[in-house]
Amino acid sequence: MNNSLGQYTVVVPAAGVGKRMRASCPKQYLTINDKTILEHTVQRLLNHEAICHVVIALGEFDEYFPTTSLANNNNVTRVVGGKERVDSVLAGLKILNTEQEQWVLVHDAARPCVQHKDLTELITYCVENNHGGILAAPVRDTMKQATSTGIIDKTLDRSQMWHALTPQMYKTAELTSAIGDALAKDIIITDESSAMEAFGYASGLVNGSSDNIKITQPEDLCLAEFILQQQEKEFHLEAL
């Protein structure tokens, strides 16, 4: 499908085991309404007009993926991920043709609630400004900095603080290089923007919806189910 936004690939790191969920399987394979979190996430991405391809980085011995609907999806490519999230992202990036796929998005497998309007705004921002960016949400709560013993050290100014979300979008060659160099220099990488920041690349903040939650704790599963139900209701109302 051709559209004014272009066509893009999303790398989804999904090799983690999700220990904090205390579940019998990796969290991306827990289900909401008889569909795995990974299926919800990837299908939400592929349903956007500008996304044509999703690369999923899986654990080497992943036994769950073949049982999902994604296993036979021609728009999905599987690669073997690594020990850490950043290793999985790099594995996904390395199979891309940087000349044909000049831009790439990276999205957490456990964020099934990302909204299409936010994806559109992120893509539009990055392409128009010719540099990368991330979806993010302004910090609303009072933020405290603690000492190593758990005592409040000071209150931080939240006016310039943001929660980093995903997707994060960058030029494919630059992101691949930045992550590779960061790993070689033992720079701690927590997300794609941290790799880009380490080497002086610009990263814009695109205000994203706060319901783009990451499922990390058991209670998040119920919240994600509620959000997905509400989004479905809103979609049907808008279609009327």
pLDDT over threshold 80, residue 133: yes
Amino acid letter at 193? S
Parse the chain into domains and list their residue ranges: 8-235
Q: How many CA atoms lie within 13 A of 68 on its CB side?
A: 24
Amino acid letter at 45? L
pLDDT tens-digit map of 160-175: 999 999 999 999 999 9
CATH code for the part of the protein at 8-235: 3.90.550.10
pLDDT tens-digit map of 86-128: 999 999 999 999 999 999 999 999 999 999 999 999 999 999 9
* pTM score, whole prediction: 0.93
pLDDT tens-digit map of 190-226: 999 999 999 999 999 999 999 999 999 999 999 999 9
